[in-house]
Amino acid sequence: MSPPNDDVVSDQVTFYTVSRLNRETRALLNAHFGLVWVQGEVSNLMIAASGHCYFSLRDAEAQVRCAMFRGQARALTSPLQNGDEILVKAQVSLYEPRGDYQLIIDYLEPIGDGALRRAFDVLKQRLAAEGLFDAAHKKPIPILPRCIGVITSPTGAAIHDILTVLKRRFPAIPVIVFPTKVQGPEAKGEIVEALAAADRSGLCDVLLLTRGGGSLEDLWPFNEWPFNEESVARAIHRCRTPVVSGVGHEVDFTISDLVADLRAPTPSAAAEAVSPDAREFLSTCQRREKNLRQRIIEVLQKHEQRLAFIGKRLEQAHPQKRIQTQVQRVDELMLRLQRAMAAWVGQRNGQLDAQTHRLLRHHPGPTLILLESRRQSLDRRLHRDLAHSLDVHRARLHALEERLTSVSPLATLARGYAAVMRVRDGLLVKSAQDIAPGDTTMTRLAQGSLTSTVEAVHPEP
């Protein structure tokens, strides 16, 4: 018997289609678990071209597949890697096309960073309860400020970015920099003093509190803590001058952002938020006066129509679950395309390798190696023959040296004889008749010489 397209009851037996079974199973999982906190190790990480992340969360005994969509993945402060120990807040769900049980990640934090992040959340909740974040306290940002105050480090990259943007957009607006440290243990106190000084001066229509991005510890002077770092948030709240917070990069979010009258994702964006474009300012004012009424009517009509359309859509079915399913399907097709491209590239690489081998067979390298070997052999022969010739000449020189030594008078002197010379003319004295009494002589010995005066001469009988 063939079951119908949907379910029917026959003899108390309910037949389900596969799609309906998976759909209802997912609804049961969503309804039963809601949002759960799960801790584990990341494995099998895959980041799709769309920006969605897919991985497994495992412990020593089991694992579960996880999906983190692009919107949540953008909030990560550091890239996710295999082996990371993480804590996630997720919705238990089912991927209907394959019937895979999975977690849809809503929030993720590394293990070890959680205490600091929870401290931030505690402070955020306490200050929110006191009303520091209320919209009623937010002061409007002037469209065309007479003067802009910047509270930041005078040596950081943020001040350069801000001044560059302000000069480009509206160079006529004067800027006053209130220098302060924005990192380290003294940053908190200096930021509070700079805010108070800028507000007391009354010179600025708006204040920019900025610094570049960094780690949570670097940004902690802006993320107040109840013991000794709450003063910055309260100093912003006390300012009568509107404050724009531009702390960090796009993904950074601080207590200062919540207390300030306006939050900008970066220092450059903060500068753009408080400065109009000089070239567009006049034309914009003229165009707005002419088109304001017409535009309000059109916008209201458009939003009324869209609101009615969306209301009907939501009454029928919420689109978020279907969108998530289709996103995963697109990612699967993208993976198939990538594998096909990889196979094609591999085939072309094989052809390239074959052509490379053919080219190598005609390469002059082997001939060069042979010639180099021959050169080395001739070089060795040259050195060997040169060494032999040197040995022969050394032996001949040694023989001549010995012959010279044998006839040298120095050898006779070494046996105890002496040579006598007459000092006045250097004549070698060979006979007593060659010298007279009173002559000065120099006697050469084997070691040293003597100078003497002749007292008497004794010729041989």
Residue 211 within any structural domain of the chain: yes
| Residue range 306-338, pLDDT digits in tens | 888 887 777 666 667 777 778 888 888 888 899
Band (224; pLDDT cuts 50, 70, 90): very low
Closest C-alpha to 66, from 48, 34, 88: 88
Residue 80 · residue 65 · CB < 8 Å: no
Structural domain containing residue 254: 136-276
Say yes or no: 172 and 259 in one domain.
Answer: yes
* φ, ψ for residue 40, nearest 5 deg: 180, -170
- Would you state the pLDDT for residue 423? 85
| Residue range 338-361, pLDDT digits in tens | 989 999 998 988 888 888 888 877
Residue 171 · residue 214 · CB < 8 Å: no
Average pLDDT over residues 248-252: 55
Q: Which of 253-257, 397-401, 443-447 has the highest mean pLDDT?
A: 397-401
Band (67; pLDDT cuts 50, 70, 90): very high
Say yes or no: 231 and 268 in one domain.
Answer: yes
Say yes or no: 318 and 432 in one domain.
Answer: no
Residue 189 · residue 136 · CB < 8 Å: no
Say yes or no: 84 and 50 in one domain.
Answer: yes
Closest C-alpha to 104, from 145, 155, 52, 151: 52
| Residue range 200-213, pLDDT digits in tens | 999 999 999 988 76
Burial class of residue 108, CB neighbours in 10 A (0-12, 13-18, 19+)? buried
The rounded percent of the chain whose pLDDT value lies above 90 is 21
Average pLDDT over residues 418-433: 84
Residue 402 · residue 422 · CB < 8 Å: no
Q: Which residue has the higher pLDDT, 359 or 275?
A: 275
Residue with tokens 């895959």: 46
Written as one string, the DSSP assignment of 332-345 is: HHHHHHHHHHHHHH
Cα distances (angstroms) measured from residue 62 to each of 65, 89, 267: 11, 18, 45
| Residue range 15-62, pLDDT digits in tens | 888 888 888 888 888 888 888 899 888 888 898 888 899 999 988 788
| Residue range 125-182, pLDDT digits in tens | 888 999 988 999 999 999 899 999 999 989 888 899 999 999 999 999 999 999 998 8
Residue 215 · residue 197 · CB < 8 Å: no
- Would you state the pLDDT for residue 118? 59
Q: Which residue has the higher pLDDT, 240 or 319?
A: 240
Residue with tokens 């394959």: 98
Residue 41 · residue 85 · CB < 8 Å: yes
Cα distance between residue 307 and residue 327, in whole Å? 25
Least confident residue range of 106-110, 119-123, 169-173, 187-191:
119-123
Q: Please, what's the largest Cα pairwise distance for the chain? A: 170
Cα distance between residue 315 and residue 275, in whole Å? 44
Band (121; pLDDT cuts 50, 70, 90): confident
Say yes or no: 269 and 141 in one domain.
Answer: yes
Question: Structure tokens of 383?
Answer: 């050195």
Last residue of a domain, one of 220, 251, 276: 276
Say yes or no: 226 and 292 in one domain.
Answer: no
Question: Structure tokens of 309?
Answer: 């359309």
Rounded mean pLDDT of the chain?
A: 83
- Would you state the pLDDT for residue 217? 44
Residue 370 within any structural domain of the chain: no
Say yes or no: 230 and 99 in one domain.
Answer: no
- Would you state the pLDDT for residue 5? 52
Closest C-alpha to 226, from 128, 133, 124, 123: 123
- Would you state the pLDDT for residue 317? 66
DSSP H or E segment with residue 202: none
Residue with tokens 């930021």: 191
Residue 121 within any structural domain of the chain: no
Residue 38 within any structural domain of the chain: yes
**For residue 274, how many other CB atoms are within 10 A of its CB?**
28
- Would you state the pLDDT for residue 273? 92
Say yes or no: 26 and 66 in one domain.
Answer: yes
Residue with tokens 């006053």: 176
Helix (H, G, I), strand (E, B) or coil at 194: helix
Question: Structure tokens of 18?
Answer: 């596969």
Q: Is the pTM of this model over 0.85?
A: no
DSSP 8-state code for residue 428: B
Residue 111 · residue 170 · CB < 8 Å: no
Q: Which residue has the higher pLDDT, 280 or 251?
A: 280
- Would you state the pLDDT for residue 436? 85
Say yes or no: 255 and 142 in one domain.
Answer: yes
- Residue 243 β-bridge partners: 207
Residue 434 within any structural domain of the chain: yes
Helix, strand and coil in the chain, % to nearest 5: 50, 20, 30
- Would you state the pLDDT for residue 100? 87
The CATH code of the domain that includes 52 is: 2.40.50.140
Say yes or no: 195 and 314 in one domain.
Answer: no
Band (219; pLDDT cuts 50, 70, 90): low
Residue 304 within any structural domain of the chain: yes
Cα distance between residue 319 and residue 34, in whole Å? 18
Cα distance between residue 125 and residue 158, in whole Å? 29
In the predicted model, is pLDDT for residue 277 greater than 90? no
The CATH code of the domain that includes 171 is: 3.40.50.261
Average pLDDT over residues 64-72: 91
Closest C-alpha to 73, from 92, 88, 63: 88
Residue 385 within any structural domain of the chain: no
| Residue range 370-392, pLDDT digits in tens | 888 888 888 889 898 888 889 88
Say yes or no: 257 and 291 in one domain.
Answer: no
Average pLDDT over residues 267-284: 87
The rounded percent of the chain whose pLDDT value lies above 70 is 89
**For residue 126, how many other CB atoms are within 10 A of its CB?**
13
Residue 393 within any structural domain of the chain: no
Closest C-alpha to 226, from 236, 234, 216, 218: 234
Question: Structure tokens of 263?
Answer: 């939050």
- Would you state the pLDDT for residue 271? 93
In the predicted model, is pLDDT for residue 437 greater than 50? yes
The runs of H, that is alpha helices, within 317-419 are 319-361, 365-407, 409-414
Question: For the chain, what is the domain count?
Answer: 4
Say yes or no: 147 and 272 in one domain.
Answer: yes
In the predicted model, is pLDDT for residue 220 greater than 70? no
Cα distances (angstroms) measured from residue 53 to each of 65, 104, 453: 11, 10, 115
- Would you state the pLDDT for residue 112? 56
**For residue 199, how many other CB atoms are within 10 A of its CB?**
19
Last residue of a domain, one of 250, 276, 302: 276
- Would you state the pLDDT for residue 11? 55
Band (239; pLDDT cuts 50, 70, 90): very high
